[in-house]
Structure 1
Amino acid sequence: MESSDVELDLQRSVQAVLRELSAQAPALRSNRGMWRWSLHKKVERDPGKSPVLVHILLRELEKAEREDTRRVIIPLLHTLMYVLTKATGISQELYRRTYALCMRLLTLPAPYCTVALDCAIRLKTETAAPGTLYQRLVIAEQNLRSELYPYQERVFLFVDPELVPPSVCSALLLEIQAAQTQQTPEACMRHVVSHTLQAALGGACRAEVLQRKLQASPRRALERHFHEVVAAVEQTASEPSATREGHLERLEEIYCSLLGPTAAARGRCGGDPVPERPPSIPLPSPHITFQLWTDEEQLWKELVLFLRPRSQRRLSADMEALDLQGLLPDRSLARMSVLSTDSGIERDLPPGADELPAPSSPETERAGLQRKGGVKKRMWPPDISHWDGPPGLHRRTGRPSGDGELLPGVARLHTARVLVLGDDRMLGRLARAYHSLRKRETQTFCLSPRLSLQLYYIPVLTPEKRASSRHLELGELAAFLGRADPWYESTVNTLCPAIQKLAEMPPSLDTSQTVDPFILDVITYYVRMGTQPIYFQLYTVKIFFGDLSQDPVEDVFLTELKVKIQDSKLPKDAFSPRRRGAAEAPGAELSLCYRKALLSHRTREVTISLRATGLVLKALPASDTNDHTCLSVNVMEVIKSSNLAGRSFSTVTNTFRAANVQIQSQDQRLLTLWLDKDHRRTFRDVVRIEVVPCPEPCSGVQKSKALWLSSHHQKEVEGTKAKPKPLLMPINTFSGIVQ
């Protein structure tokens, strides 16, 4: 195929991707998600098309910038960066133009400037050391050991077997296993060495000869070449004044030593470059663990097992006690009593007394056996609220700030990408696990210093529910994410029917035929490029039962709380017969006390009594993604009317917004509660409920400090009441909320 035909074919594919962002035709809507996947597959099968595709995407981005067509900017940026990560042979001019474009996009509002800044940072590193993005991604995702880049990532795919059909679970498991059997550590190291040398040396690299040489190299020699390439790339990436010429010289030496003087002389080292079609270098899919979610503590256990191998980086003295092999309780870590040997005079202290020793020094290793020079103030446990980004409204977006250091000498080297499949009931279960995880972390504090936690969601509904109104009810959060982020709607929400089709297809008996794993590829694209979270407010509900001997129960919900009136009543001391012929009104008398949700954030308490057949409290807005954080309370109120035929009753739905709600039955009617539309989370014989925003969990030390401050500064803060920080659960998307 000629170059003009290649460019025309890729141009048509890019235009199809852009058209589907606002597609109204049924033909285009049915193929959503396939255009982007097929576009990347074209370049993956023929890597020589990568520079042409980069040029086309860059041209479309510049056109969108000129015409201010913002809806296509973020999809084009993600598509461009995904191509650049896997591509080789990209010219310096294309890198410079792309970087300059990203810098110009920083003048746009969020989330466009946020995504553009992330792309600009990665482009700057890739321009100085070509192949860095590919190399770091493979090392982290495949857990390859490297002292210079010790970061590790893992994708945890959680599926509730009661909510997802077994055929879907089997199809996903087979696709994941088939892909990972070919991704051995040796194969991944060969991919890294080959890709880095091709990206740096370009056409001067004899790609086919290089791959044959790597294929024939023993494990020890392959590891040596791998570490040499990683060291060269990381040295260039870490040097502030590193030059591309110096980086090329280092890789040329590795290339010549790998091929030998005779073979290398025909290429870059001695003769003219040999033009040849570069072979395809696959980007291995991330390491995915498939989990059937059957245990409430399963998420916690899997994260602990992920961190169990000790990092090669030495921990600080404060973190030596946090060995995950033993998981010591927090009570022994909250305070360390030491004998004071100083005089209390500052000038009598030895020099450097307040400085911590180096992480690898002998003083650090003996820190647990030595006495300190005095009692040092210890902030324990630190604030871990930045696990899920900055505080704010639950529809705020932004990039999580979990990649830095939380304590001195302890860096977050691990990233856990938790991906759940299912509907709103699965997200309710994830919300409970996330709340439990945060509460446990205030006691043990062993995950947050080392782990960056990212949450992802792919909606999956059973076929019979997709064709009914139940589908819309169970997919409210997926619909909200699709309205907030059009690229999420086009790329992720389309997986729901695709997964069903894959599960219904019979298995292929021809093992020699290679099949492209569509579902796995889209999952991989989502967890790699979905870096912008949307924060959702969790709500706490306190439930009081009619049986006074039963203690109240607390739970959390994410999307919905539903209340219905039971037929049974509480036992009465005396029986009061009703007048014969009197029609009993349906429902029950309820007392509602709530605080109105006002844009001015002023407090306004409202108390009403009414007769109702049920209530539904929704935490997600119906249509407006910019709506402020509040509960939407829908009350099915009973209206009594009198006419010549007698009394009649009708129901009408009243809706109001509230920050918190208290509901109590007044005429001894019992209530039934459902949380997050899950029949397994049903509470019966309820007389009262209290719903408030779920606060950020805090430890006993933080509670004691808060009580001490409130008692000692009561006069200063009289008239003001400190509000607890809300607990926000992030779900990653591609761009966050697009205005």
Structure 2
Amino acid sequence: MESSDAELDLQRSVQAVLRELSAQTSALQGNQGMWRWSLHKKVERDPGRNPVLVRILLRELEKAESKDLWHIIIPLLHTLMYVLTKATGITEELYHRTYTFCTRLLTLPTPYCTVALDCAIRLKTEIAAPGTLYQRTVLAEQNLMSEMYPYQERVFLFVDPELVSASVCSALLLEIEAAQGQQTPEACMRHVVCHALQAALGEACHAGALHRKLQATSRRVLEHYFHAVVAAVEQMAVEASPNRAGPLERLDCIYCSCCGPHSLLLSSGDPPQDRPPSIPLPSPYITFHLWTDQEQLWKELVLFLSPKSQLRLSADLEALDLQGLGPDGDFARVSVLSTDSGIERDFPLGADELPDPSSPEIERAGLQRKGGIKKRVWPPDFSMPGSWDGPPGLHRRTGRPGGDGELLPGVSRVHTARVLVLGDDRMLGRLAQAYHRLRKRETQKFCLTPRLSLQLYYIPVLAPQEPAASRSPELGELATFLGRADPWYESTVNTLCSAIHKLAEMPLCLDTTRTVDPFILDVITYYVRMGTQPIYFQIYTVKIFSDLSQDSVEDIFLTELKVKIQDSKSPKEGASPRRRGVTESPGAELSICYQKALLSHRPREVTISLRATGLVLKAIPDSDTEGSPHCPPAAVPVTAHTYLNVIVTEAVKSSNLAGRSFSTVTHTFRTSSIQIQSQEQKLLMLLLDKDNRRTFRDVVRFEVGPCPEPCSRTQKSKTSWLSSHGQKEMNTTQGTSKPLLMPINTFSGIIQ
């Protein structure tokens, strides 16, 4: 009876999650998002209910597949995989049913096949070596050093103190510190050992006795058990045709060594076993940062890599910045010692391999070869987009924009930086600036790219003066779009907008002995772990002219560029004063030249002149914008065209008996690039990404187009050389330059 009641309770919780996904109301206006969290908490407090929940979720997935309820497939699959990562005692029959279901989804279009492939790969590893997903997650997120699994991750939480209130920052910081204070390295190693032994040995492992023994074990002995368990599990996971007898025997020996001879009696099942203790999955290591410096993202990533980097990054950031890089971003001469003799048979390595600086071949070559100087040259066809995303996969619309995974031969990215920003569209504009600066700097320094996978995450948080109940869509357009594109993002992440403010308003709890479930931190952890499918957004560059005889100033924007008409200049000397009673014409006469967006993608230039009172360029469309809301022009694959939605308010003059008057007419069109110039003495004011700190005044002309992918000096030199020799291919190369796209991770990407 008790088992039936537990199953009914879990079934009701799963149905509540499904009703939430089918609801039409916005997740920002209610307390939605709690059902998934409470469902995971139920099985976390009682691990014995995990197999029941897995069976329920599988049944709902198969039912959704038969009834074509595709909008709940990916949320249920993520929920199931999150349970399987933590759980022990799952039968092979449930694992194989889940794996078979994922393989059936591979015939569907993206994002279903993409998510299913990722789940199938992880399930195949878990079937071969139970407990691998949990072990690898803890090792990477807690930076537990292991030669068998050297991959490391870190979550960087960035908050702009000018956009997020101090109470919200304090609440987040206190919750993170309270959770991480309990996640010591010893505790994490105990969790790994307990989980691996329970997953591998099953009922033969007495979980309660094992947990008590490990609690009383010294640090040195615990580390010995930890490394032995990791080695045994990884051996089963990496072998093509694993022979589980040897590793299982070693795990059984570790269990017997830890629990003593009495463990043999326990494993025989004579004494009744009590309820197995819960093994939590520790939240990832999160560092909290107030974004006050433009170079802060670069510096934090360098510090993350510097202790273990094979590139020998200097701990002194200033010295690192001055090694061959001037303040204006130009190259100094970078030279290296040539150690080859120029004879092919004397090469110590293949032409496509990178030598290890500490290898004996390099040392011998350095002793035999006279000192010579040659210029460092990177591969001429080096492409940046493939160097910043995660492992290669079947990504199309919402996956990797290009590249074949490994950037340089013999160099693999073993570090993952998960950059999570909180704020509104203004914060995303700052993130786009930092991302563009980072990519541009990497073409000059090339320090982070070979070792780092950069993942970007976004949680919308309103400014204090704008409560969540009356959320203005003006500052949350990108979050609204992400919620339309990915319903699970809307239900899980967008709900934090109101929850974070409620948490900040609650009084501080000074009782450190009371166990509190950190809701905000748990949702952040779930997002950064399961949000693996990026949506790419076009970054646009704007060239600003205050004087047509001088060079322009360049900047970028991600979501919006707003144009306002400034007051008229003071009248020139000798000019006749304006007659009294004459109505001054509103706005300014603008000359607009743009490339019209056509379905055929053929270039068509349009030039118009009109009197406008305002103009807005939007990269993120509204819900009523022409086209499918799930396929906006702002988030597209590399091979497709990107469009700006231009909204112009024109002042139309009309005459009547009362005299001359003006009315306004709104025009909307789409373009890929545009140039606008004021034809009068009136100047323009530009506001980028709705941020008052990014305002440009006294503008005469500006040009907007897709921001190109930053290229290295080698590529620029090759381009200039080809153009000087009259190569006809140069026009094609320049016309097809890759645009710079910024990825923001979601759970499924764009669901069509």
Q: 1:571 to 1:297 in 2, by over 3 A?
A: farther
Report SS of the residue matched to 1:158: strand
Asked whether the 8 Å contact 1:106–1:117 carries over to 2, the reply is: yes
Matched, 1:204 2:204: yes
Once residues 617 and 189 of structure 1 are traced to their aligned partners in structure 2, the CA distance between those partners, rounded to angstroms, is 53
Cα deviations across residues 556-595 of structure 1 (Å, max 9, x unaligned)? 0000000101113266353133344321111111111111
Equivalence for 2:713: 700
Alignment pair present for 1:150 and 2:155? no
Say if 2:289 is the partner of 1:284: no
C-alpha distance after superposition, 1:453-508 (max 9, x if no partner): 00000000135424687721000000000000000000000100000100001112
Q: In the TM superposition, what is the alpha-carbon distance from 1:274 to its structure 2 partner?
A: 4.7
Change (3 A) 1:114 1:671: same
1:120 equivalent in alignment to 2:116: no
1:445 lines up with 2:446 in the alignment: yes
Residue equivalent to 2:630: 625
1:567 and 2:567 matched:
yes
Measured against aligned partners, the alpha-carbon deviations of 1:45-94 in whole angstroms (never above 9, x if no partner) come to: 10001000000001111111111211111001100000000001001111
Matches within 5 A, 1:463-542: 463-466=464-467, 471-542=472-543
The CA distance in 2 between the partners of 1:486 and 1:593, in whole Å, is 38
Equivalent-residue separation in structure 1 for 2:404 and 2:253 (angstroms): 33
Aligned to 2:233: 233
Q: d(CA) in 2 for partners of 1:524 and 1:714?
A: 52
2:301 pairs, out of 275, 300, 303, with: 303
> Does structure 1 residue 655 correspond to structure 2 residue 668?
yes
Secondary structure of the structure 2 residue equivalent to 1:294: coil
- Pair 274,323 (structure 1): closer, same or farther in 2 beyond 3 Å: farther
C-alpha displacement of 1:296: 0.8
Query: Structure 1 273/428 Cα, relative in aligned 2: closer, same or farther at 3 Å?
Result: farther
Tell me, yes or no, if the aligned pair for 2:722 and 2:730 is still in contact at 8 Å. Answer: no
Amino acid at match of 2:647: N
Matched, 1:71 2:71: yes
Q: Look up the equivalent residue of 1:439 and give its one-letter code.
A: K
TM-score by length of 2: 0.91
Q: Which amino acid aligns with 1:187?
A: A
- Report how many residues are paired: 724
Question: Which amino acid in structure 2 is aligned with residue 613 of structure 1?
Answer: T
Q: Corresponding residue for 1:419?
A: 420
Match of 1:267 in 2: 266
1:278-427 equivalences in 2 (<5 Å):
278-310=276-308, 315=310, 319=311, 327=320, 328-329=323-324, 336=336, 338=338, 341-342=341-342, 354=351, 356=353, 359=356, 361-364=359-362, 371=369, 378-380=377-379, 382-388=382-388, 396-398=397-399, 404-427=405-428
Letter in 2 for 1:508: C
Find the aligned partners of 2:396 and 2:241 in 1 and give their Cα distance: 41
Distance 1:148 1:367, change over 3 A: farther
Task: Rate the CA distance shift 1:590–1:716 in 2: closer, same or farther, 3 A.
Answer: closer
Change (3 A) 1:126 1:364: farther
Take 2:545 and 2:377, find their aligned partners in 1: how far apart are those partners? 40
Alignment deviations for residues 401-449 of structure 1 (CA, whole Å, 9 cap, x no partner) = 8995322332111100000000000000000000010111111100010
1:724 deviates by 1.5
Cα distance in 2 for partners of 1:718, 1:531 equals 37
State whether residues 33 and 491 of structure 2, in contact with CA within 8 Å, keep that contact through their aligned partners in structure 1.
Answer: yes
Q: C-alpha offsets along residues 628-684 of structure 1, whole Å, 9 cap, x if unaligned?
A: 321111111001001111111011211111111111111110111110000011111
* Distance across 2 between alignment mates of 1:239 and 1:412: 21
Q: CA deviation at 1:29?
A: 5.9
**Amino acid in structure 1 at the alignment position of 2:630:** T
- CA drift of 1:338 comes to 3.5
| Aligned: 1:139 with 2:134 | no
Distance in structure 2 (CA, Å) of the matches to 1:366 and 1:558 = 52
1:698-722 Cα deviation digits (max 9, x unpaired): 1211101122233335245678853
Equivalent residues of 1:546, 1:670 under 8 A apart: no
Give the AA of the match of 2:54: V
Q: Structure 1: how far apart are the matches of 2:370 and 2:125?
A: 43
Change in Cα spacing, 1:290 to 1:367, as seen in structure 2 (3 Å) is: farther
- In the aligned structure 2, how far is the partner of 1:402 from the partner of 1:135? 29
Letter aligned with residue 295 of structure 1: D
One-letter amino acid of the counterpart of residue 216, structure 1: A
Counterpart in the other structure of 2:34:
34
2:130 alignment counterpart: 130
- The equivalent of 2:626 in structure 1 is none
Kindly indicate whether the alpha-carbon contact (under 8 Å) linking 1:546 and 1:570 is maintained by their aligned counterparts in 2.
no
Query: How many angstroms apart in 2 are the aligned matches of 1:462 and 1:184?
Result: 35
721-730 vs 619-628, greater mean Cα deviation: 619-628
Instruction: Indicate if the aligned counterparts of 1:403 and 1:452 stay in contact, CA closer than 8 A.
Output: no
Cα separation, partners in 2 of 1:716 and 1:222, compared to 1, 3 Å: closer
Aligned partners of 1:196, 1:719: CA distance in 2, in Å? 56
Identity of aligned pairs, percent? 73
* Aligned residues of 2:354 and 2:410 also touching (Cα < 8 A): no
Q: Is the 8 A contact 2:562 2:617 kept in 1?
A: yes
Residue type of the alignment partner of 1:76: L
State the Cα distance separating 1:244 from its structure 2 match: 3.7
- CA positional deviation for 1:113: 0.4
Residue 411 of structure 1 aligns to a residue in which SS? coil
**Could you tell me which residue of structure 1 aligns to residue 638 of structure 2?**
none
Q: Deviations over 1:129-161 (max 9, x none)?
A: 111001000010001111111111000000000
Cα pair 1:206 1:274 within 8 Å, conserved: no
**Alignment of 1:710 onto 2:710:** no
- How many Å separate the matches in 1 of 2:259 and 2:619? 62
Deviations 1:206-244 (A, max 9, x none): 111111111111111000000000000111111111034
Using the alignment, how far apart are the partners of 1:127 and 1:458 within structure 2? Answer: 34
1:49 corresponds in structure 2 to 49
Aligned amino acid, residue 734 of structure 1: F
1:88 and 1:395, CA in 2 relative to 1: closer, same or farther beyond 3 A? closer
| Per-residue CA distance 1:362-392 (angstroms, 9 max, x = gap) | 224666666499989953473222135599x
Is the 1:206–1:267 Cα contact (8 Å) retained in structure 2? yes
- Unaligned 5+ runs, structure 1: none
- Offset, 1:172: 0.3
Structure 1 residues 25 and 595, CA gap change in structure 2 (3 angstroms): closer
Aligned residue for 2:105, secondary structure, equals helix
